[in-house]
Amino acid sequence: MNFDYNEEQQLLADSVRRFMQKDYDFEARRKIVASAEGWSPPAWATLAEMGLLGLPFSPDYDGFGGGAVDMMSVMEAIGEALVVEPYLPTVGLAAQFIARAGSEAQKKAILPKVVAGELKMAFAQTEKGARYDLAHVATAAKKAGGGWQLDGTKCVVLGAPIADQLVVSARTSGKAGEAQGISLFLVERKAAGVTLRPYRTLDGLRAADLMLKGVELGADALIGPEGGALALIEQVTDFATALVCAEAVGAIKHANDATLEFLKTRKQFGVPIGTFQALQHRMVDMVISLEQARSMACLACSKVDNEKDSGERRRAVSAAKIRVSDACRHVSQEAVQLHGGMGMSEELKVSHSFRRLTMIALQFGDADHHLGRFAAIPARAA
Amino acid sequence: MNFDYNEEQQLLADSVRRFMQKDYDFEARRKIVASAEGWSPPAWATLAEMGLLGLPFSPDYDGFGGGAVDMMSVMEAIGEALVVEPYLPTVGLAAQFIARAGSEAQKKAILPKVVAGELKMAFAQTEKGARYDLAHVATAAKKAGGGWQLDGTKCVVLGAPIADQLVVSARTSGKAGEAQGISLFLVERKAAGVTLRPYRTLDGLRAADLMLKGVELGADALIGPEGGALALIEQVTDFATALVCAEAVGAIKHANDATLEFLKTRKQFGVPIGTFQALQHRMVDMVISLEQARSMACLACSKVDNEKDSGERRRAVSAAKIRVSDACRHVSQEAVQLHGGMGMSEELKVSHSFRRLTMIALQFGDADHHLGRFAAIPARAA
Amino acid sequence: MNFDYNEEQQLLADSVRRFMQKDYDFEARRKIVASAEGWSPPAWATLAEMGLLGLPFSPDYDGFGGGAVDMMSVMEAIGEALVVEPYLPTVGLAAQFIARAGSEAQKKAILPKVVAGELKMAFAQTEKGARYDLAHVATAAKKAGGGWQLDGTKCVVLGAPIADQLVVSARTSGKAGEAQGISLFLVERKAAGVTLRPYRTLDGLRAADLMLKGVELGADALIGPEGGALALIEQVTDFATALVCAEAVGAIKHANDATLEFLKTRKQFGVPIGTFQALQHRMVDMVISLEQARSMACLACSKVDNEKDSGERRRAVSAAKIRVSDACRHVSQEAVQLHGGMGMSEELKVSHSFRRLTMIALQFGDADHHLGRFAAIPARAA
Amino acid sequence: MNFDYNEEQQLLADSVRRFMQKDYDFEARRKIVASAEGWSPPAWATLAEMGLLGLPFSPDYDGFGGGAVDMMSVMEAIGEALVVEPYLPTVGLAAQFIARAGSEAQKKAILPKVVAGELKMAFAQTEKGARYDLAHVATAAKKAGGGWQLDGTKCVVLGAPIADQLVVSARTSGKAGEAQGISLFLVERKAAGVTLRPYRTLDGLRAADLMLKGVELGADALIGPEGGALALIEQVTDFATALVCAEAVGAIKHANDATLEFLKTRKQFGVPIGTFQALQHRMVDMVISLEQARSMACLACSKVDNEKDSGERRRAVSAAKIRVSDACRHVSQEAVQLHGGMGMSEELKVSHSFRRLTMIALQFGDADHHLGRFAAIPARAA
């Protein structure tokens, strides 16, 4: 049992943080978010140069052969700096399907480009009314002309407007809600029949609703076995959930630091010392929330990397997400309150941490969803 | 013991709600907030016509002789409709000082105009670093030329930019933090030496920081006894705190109604029924929060009207504010979460209820402040 | 709107508290609980002499014509002194059925004796697996020989071992869970076929499981209309629930007082003053819990007395029970913790308040049950 | 980063659990607690045979060279079975001082006997009014006749009545509260001048208050350097705190298992399925509490073993204790409630888990204490 980064991981964490502090401060981010594209090509290039885009992929495809634990420090830094580039959609979600279930040809065509920063991706999964049910896929994939034809609609696809390639879940048999019959397809974002309704989410990320109308794909667009993708979707979603827990840790850290800084300033302006003690108590509660969130995020990342039993993996991820979602709510709310309401002002970075934390609390399932999921998984006999 | 409105109060409540639903819906409010002035003269005129501006004043000055309990339904309606006109600053705060401690001449000059809707007011009290300490008044009032001269700075004076007259607390002796030596003055907003830095608060209200530089006042500007205003300031602030608790009840009611409506719509779009049960449970928690907030708001309003013992009054107001602040936080946070993050979108009214509730949780002291105040008041022997 | 006792109610409250402090202190209670019978005839006689047993009954039967609000101070005092005599089972439950639905003959035979302290009663309702579902009645009442014959089993009948008469719910048609078909019967505790398995509950009260085997009753044993008792059972249970909320207020008050006293003593022995501040904060939270519990208990008592709309009545009672159950748990747990674990020692009265509060949190339904009930009642259109 | 036991640790965990299930079930424990001595020599002998008493000591003294992580499974099993033998006082506290700071002679004399189960120990530290302040030591140690003389009083010394040797903290200079001047001494429990007032704590453990009156010790009774023991006391107390967190995990596990079992039985007896869902939700919350407590306990054990920076170690231990204390309260309270009050009945093991959990929440400092301690430790620059 060992809870610390190894030396290599620590070096990585340090260099990522240095980059963020230097080149991705609040003012830089503000400009990126305000730009027409809503993301920064130079920032993405730097992530590639630093090797961050290759972290979880095999060296066979120019990657570093790491796992969620190795990506934790990157996700924390992303959360702290509120990075809007599509790191999670590309590296943590869409490309994972290729890496885990793609054909050799798919891997060769996709992964080295992802690693090099030449290819951005997004995972189009959620549909209307699905809430967090991963089996709720109604988008249809029919065999047509030796390949496939896709029809359906996907909602809130994070990173879609700036992705080059999409991984789309669709049903090759059965109906929405059934476990069997879901398949995955690689689709060019600019393919004929793909229409995007792009927008920005409340936390400044690029997203889109996706209309697929008679989208024609070759036979080689299928990722993994036909009809049996649900387990893989669950696995990759758990992987991404563990990563977003780590991102939350970073965003919580910023909210805590900013609040502490604000209180110190207030103190200089003469807040009575007795009052300050009550505030300090609340600050400590926020720090404890941070420690617990980090501890659970570590556990979840470790489990998605190493746990063979899928039930145990899912329990660990859900337990972490429950705790992290609670921490997101606790810390974001306290940050706003302790800033005396200023925490909602757009001019302060903490208001954007507030927004991101509110969304992370919901991403891949809120605490209620994961409580329900946790309850449904039988515990391994001890 | 009796918890219901009497017939007259019920009639009033009904007519106020009808007015708000007809003439102050979200679209109407949006336009008012977006206007240069940030308030609506016609709406203010209607409040006057309906008699709402005269509710708590003596019939001798055209009022109706009511109290906080009679104003509760107005405050609830204001909270539900998110009214931005300065009802609380004028009727619940500034004019209260005149009504309770003003000279006959002051009453005659001010109150009938307030009742008629011809005079708006604001209470300039808070100073930098005061947090919620009402004795933290450093603004100086010196005797000068048979009258007074005021110098100092006030922060976050709600309603100031649109007020005609200000009630300003200032120190005629002693120093910031001392109980003795605080006096109240009636000051024209446009008087020489009064400079405003106006802005909008995060919940869309008009407010200003106030610079007072050599402001010359006549002897008759003094309200009440020289140097002994603190008890009155506490009394009126408690009165206004009880009223803002009632406003919170209305804002919570809207947040609950909007969330329930949103969930119903989602249900139609196919949210699995099992999931819906967990959501319903959270909805009920929100409704319970509403009931408890209302019960405590009623108690506080009743006590500020009838309780002779100032300790008991303060305990009741603090207990209510603690509970109401908690309810504000609970409900606003849940509303955002149950809206799946949409609760932060400016296009939805609920996002504005969220902002108002966040500010009410802090107004006149957050839960921590009132816990501390409550702890410091000895309980009456039972 | 008015939250205070009237003069008469205040006088009653004062005299009840005086009696308890003088004649029902912890040592006196200890002896009563340790006695074979587990209750005190002299104490019961005094309750009668003081008029407390007649509070909610009509003057036609020697009562005082009061309601739940008039009984509140008695229930608070019972909670504070941890009175074990069957006041609630007799006056608040069983005799209520006679008073509300009994025939003139039943009223004449029962109520004056109850008022005089000559007749104790209990209400036998709960059956195995019913949890808090009042329609879950399987005990059978069959017509037989011009009267009735009862067969079935009842659990945890509070006060049964010392009751003279029982009110028993039984099914004259339909089956367990159905709304129609439940009737009420007056049964002598010593009637042939009635067997008791008496015991003490964990909070020191007398209770029994009740076996009814071929119990023969006359036609005049039926209380109210045949088969239509459920609404009445709900009404009386709501009445008793409001009363037990008031009892909780008293027990919470004792737990708070004892904890404050304990902390003061500890302070003398040198607890560092900084530490004491954190403790004081927790004490204030306990007092706020008390105030909120009292406010909701008042509201519930007022509603069971005056509210015509049964839905509104039930919502108010459930809202109160939710809050009071939470307060019971919060305060009892804190009392034990702040006593440094000594709060579980049998030698301290607070450990018995702890036990009683734990049971009250469950009595007539825990917070979860009432959340569910509340959710199921449509709100009256505002 | 790695959160799992290694193979050896897993084997140990399995064998310890098997022993507890076979030889230390609730009935066996009941008999041990009811015995005059209040502990079981055969059980202690078995712990020795299994090598558990030597886990954290050097092989030079017959130990196994392990740390807190290696002891976790033993502590969990102790918590689950509610073992009353003085494992923590002996192995986790008193003997640790010898192992960490004792002279070679002391180690040789003490440790092999501890490992062999021939010597039980206790750590006498707490004094009246100290609360959790480890520097609050007033017991005096004066140089006398080439050795030392001890005078003072110690409270709630766990394991003292059955210990052979005591480690006693005493002041060789300075006064209560000061960091400098505290020393440690090895004292025979039966030494002249040592008087015990033995009792059982509310959770069935043996403890004693200790009067030291002119206790004469040789020069070789001093453990470690004169006057500089505070850092060591903090270190060992952190070690024991991490272990008691692991014990809590076991006790929580039992409370959860028993509650789940109870609910299943209730379900068979016909609890409506809708109700059961709400109960299940609460059960899941309990399981999440367990997972989080375990995760934080692991972290704390890992840190006390490996962390060089004492600030980081203390922060980790306090963060764990805060979370574990909260979990103790949450789970113990829910277990009682979900048992419908039966959770307080002495006949059920869960009532004893309740008692132990209540005490663990306080042991070595409650959540408030550790919040304060955490706040006072500056975080290491990240």
**Residue D131 and residue D96 in one domain:** no
pLDDT band of residue A377 (cuts 50, 70, 90) is: confident
**pLDDT of B129 above 90:** no
Q: Out of B33-47, B276-290, C172-186, C344-358, pick the least confident.
A: B276-290
Q: Out of A195-199, D189-193, D367-371, pick the least confident.
A: D367-371
Measured between beta carbons, the chain B residues lying within 8 angstroms of D278 are 281
User: Domain with A141 in it: what CATH number?
Assistant: 2.40.110.10
pTM comes to 0.87
Cα pseudo-dihedral C22, C28, C30, C33, rounded to 10: -110
In tens, the pLDDT along A63-115 reads 999 999 999 999 999 999 999 999 999 999 999 999 999 999 999 999 999 99
Q: Nearest C-alpha of chain D: how many angstroms from C45? A: 31
Cβ of D381 under 8 Å from any chain A Cβ?
no
Reading the block at residue B324, the tokens are 């109401």
Q: Do residues C207 and C84 lie in contact, with contact meaning Cβ atoms separated by under 8 Å? A: no
**Residue C192 and residue C315 in one domain:** no
**Residue D105 and residue D128 in one domain:** no
pLDDT of residue C359: 93
Cβ of B284 under 8 Å from any chain A Cβ?
no
**Residue D348 and residue D244 in one domain:** yes
**pLDDT of D382 above 70:** no
Cβ of B283 under 8 Å from any chain A Cβ?
no
B1 domain residue, yes or no: no
When pLDDT is averaged across residues B232-242 and rounded to a whole number, the result is 98
A380 domain residue, yes or no: no
Which ipTM score applies to this complex? 0.81
Chain A interface mutation, best of B202, B267, B322, highest count of A Cβ atoms under 10 Å: B202
A372 contacts B129? CB cut-off 8 A: no
| Whole-number CA gyration radius for chain A | 21
DSSP H or E stretch at residue D318: helix D310-338
Residue of higher predicted confidence among C1 and C373: C373
Measured between beta carbons, the chain C residues lying within 8 angstroms of B1 are 2-6, 9, 69, 298, 301-302
**pLDDT of C109 above 90:** yes
pLDDT of residue C273: 44
Reading the block at residue A362, the tokens are 């919901």
Q: Nearest C-alpha of chain A: how many angstroms from B96? A: 26
**pLDDT of A275 above 70:** no
Q: Do residues A64 and A4 lie in contact, with contact meaning Cβ atoms separated by under 8 Å? A: no
In tens, the pLDDT along A28-64 reads 999 999 999 999 999 999 999 999 999 999 999 999 9
Distance CA C240, CA C238 (A): 5
**pLDDT of D194 above 50:** yes
Its domain, for residue B87, covers 7-119
In tens, the pLDDT along A18-29 reads 999 999 999 999
B372 contacts A358? CB cut-off 8 A: no
pLDDT of residue B273: 45
**Residue D157 and residue D76 in one domain:** no
**pLDDT of B84 above 90:** yes
**pLDDT of D221 above 80:** yes
**Residue D256 and residue D209 in one domain:** no
Q: What is the phi-psi region of residue C167: left when phi exceeds 0, alpha when psi lies from -120 to 50, beta otherwise?
A: beta
Q: Out of B107-116, B137-146, B272-281, C153-162, pick the least confident.
A: B272-281
**Residue C55 and residue C167 in one domain:** no
In chain A, which residue's Cα lies nearest the Cα of D375? Answer: A284
Cβ of D278 under 8 Å from any chain B Cβ?
yes
Reading the block at residue D86, the tokens are 């003085």
Cβ of C273 under 8 Å from any chain A Cβ?
no
Give the range with max mean pLDDT: C89-103, C349-363, D272-286, D359-373. Answer: C89-103
Q: Nearest C-alpha of chain C: how many angstroms from D251? A: 17
pLDDT band of residue A198 (cuts 50, 70, 90) is: very high
In tens, the pLDDT along D11-32 reads 999 999 999 999 999 999 999 9
C2 domain residue, yes or no: no
Q: Out of B327-341, C185-199, C337-351, pick the least confident.
A: C337-351
C381 domain residue, yes or no: no
When pLDDT is averaged across residues B311-333 and rounded to a whole number, the result is 94
Measured between beta carbons, the chain B residues lying within 8 angstroms of A355 are 344
In chain D, which residue's Cα lies nearest the Cα of C355? Answer: D344
When pLDDT is averaged across residues C84-98 and rounded to a whole number, the result is 98
Q: Residue C186 pairs with which residues in a beta bridge?
A: C167
A298 contacts D3? CB cut-off 8 A: yes
pLDDT of residue D187: 98
Distance CA D99, CA D167 (A): 12
In tens, the pLDDT along D129-150 reads 888 899 999 999 999 999 999 9
Q: Nearest C-alpha of chain C: how many angstroms from D343? A: 10
DSSP helix, strand, coil percent of chain D (3-state; round to 5):
55, 15, 30
pLDDT of residue A379: 65
Distance CA C68, CA D37 (A): 54
The domain boundary residue, chosen from A119, A151, A167: A119
> CB under 8 Å, gap of 24 or more: what pairs does B40-43 form?
B40/B85, B43/B83, B43/B85
Mean pLDDT of chain C: 92
pLDDT of residue D305: 95
D1 domain residue, yes or no: no
Distance CA A30, CA A53 (A): 23
What values do phi and psi take at C171, rounded to 5? -100, 120
Mean pLDDT of chain A: 92
What whole-number percentage of chain A has pLDDT above 90?
79
**pLDDT of A162 above 70:** yes
In tens, the pLDDT along D91-115 reads 999 999 999 999 999 999 999 999 9
What values do phi and psi take at A192, rounded to 5? -65, 135
Q: Out of A95-104, A289-298, B33-42, C280-289, pick the least confident.
A: C280-289
| Whole-number CA gyration radius for chain C | 21
- SS3 sequence, chain C? CECCCCHHHHHHHHHHHHHHHHHCCHHHHHHHHHCCCCCCHHHHHHHHHCCHHHCCCCHHHCCCCCCHHHHHHHHHHHHHHCCCCCHHHHHHHHHHHHHHHCCHHHHHHHHHHHHHCCCCEEEECCCCCCCCCCCCCCCEEEEECCEEEEEEEEEEEECHHHCCEEEEEEECCCCCCCCCCEEEEEEECCCCCEEEEEEECCCCCEEEEEEEEEEEECHHHEECCCCECHHHHHHHHHHHHHHHHHHHHHHHHHHHHHHHHHHHHHHHCCCCHHHHHHHHHHHHHHHHHHHHHHHHHHHHHHHHHHCCCHHHHHHHHHHHHHHHHHHHHHHHHHHHHHCCCHHHCCCCHHHHHHHHHHHHCCCCCCHHHHHHHHHHCCCCCC
C115 domain residue, yes or no: yes
Mean pLDDT of chain D: 92
pLDDT band of residue A380 (cuts 50, 70, 90) is: low
When pLDDT is averaged across residues C326-344 and rounded to a whole number, the result is 87
Measured between beta carbons, the chain A residues lying within 8 angstroms of C277 are 277
When pLDDT is averaged across residues B98-111 and rounded to a whole number, the result is 98
When pLDDT is averaged across residues C343-360 and rounded to a whole number, the result is 90
Of C123, C341, C311, C103, the closest CA to residue C224 belongs to C103
Cβ of A281 under 8 Å from any chain D Cβ?
yes
Distance CA A141, CA A185 (A): 9
Q: Residue written as tokens 């002495």?
A: D346
Distance CA B208, CA B159 (A): 8
**Residue D100 and residue D141 in one domain:** no
When pLDDT is averaged across residues D221-231 and rounded to a whole number, the result is 97
User: Domain with D248 in it: what CATH number?
Assistant: 1.20.140.10
Residues belonging to chain B: 382
Label the pairing between strands B147-158 and B121-124. Answer: unpaired
Provide the 10 A C-beta neighbour count for residue D14.
13
Measured between beta carbons, the chain B residues lying within 8 angstroms of C284 are 371-372, 374-375
pLDDT of residue D265: 76
DSSP H or E stretch at residue A313: helix A310-338
Q: Which residue among B4, B17, B295 places its CB closest to the CB of C296?
A: B295
**Residue B358 and residue B235 in one domain:** yes
pLDDT of residue D270: 52
pLDDT of residue A185: 98
State the number of CA atoms in the 13 A half-sphere of D336 facing the CB: 29
D196 domain residue, yes or no: yes
In tens, the pLDDT along B265-283 reads 765 555 544 456 677 778 8
When pLDDT is averaged across residues D84-88 and rounded to a whole number, the result is 98
**Residue D191 and residue D270 in one domain:** no
pLDDT of residue B277: 67
**Residue B45 and residue B21 in one domain:** yes
**Residue D115 and residue D126 in one domain:** no
A351 domain residue, yes or no: yes
The domain boundary residue, chosen from D119, D137, D155: D119
pLDDT of residue B272: 47
User: Domain with A79 in it: what CATH number?
Assistant: 1.10.540.10
Kindly give, in sequence order, each residue whose CB lies less than 8 Å from that of residue A303, ignoring residues fewer than 6 positions away: A242, A312, A313, A316, A317, D3
What whole-number percentage of chain D has pLDDT above 70?
95
Residue of higher predicted confidence among B93 and D369: B93
The domain boundary residue, chosen from A223, A255, A286: A223
pLDDT of residue A273: 44
Q: Nearest C-alpha of chain A: how many angstroms from D5? A: 6
Count: domains in chain B: 3
When pLDDT is averaged across residues D239-266 and rounded to a whole number, the result is 93
> Can you spell out the DSSP letters for D78-96?
HHHHT--SSHIIIIIIIHH
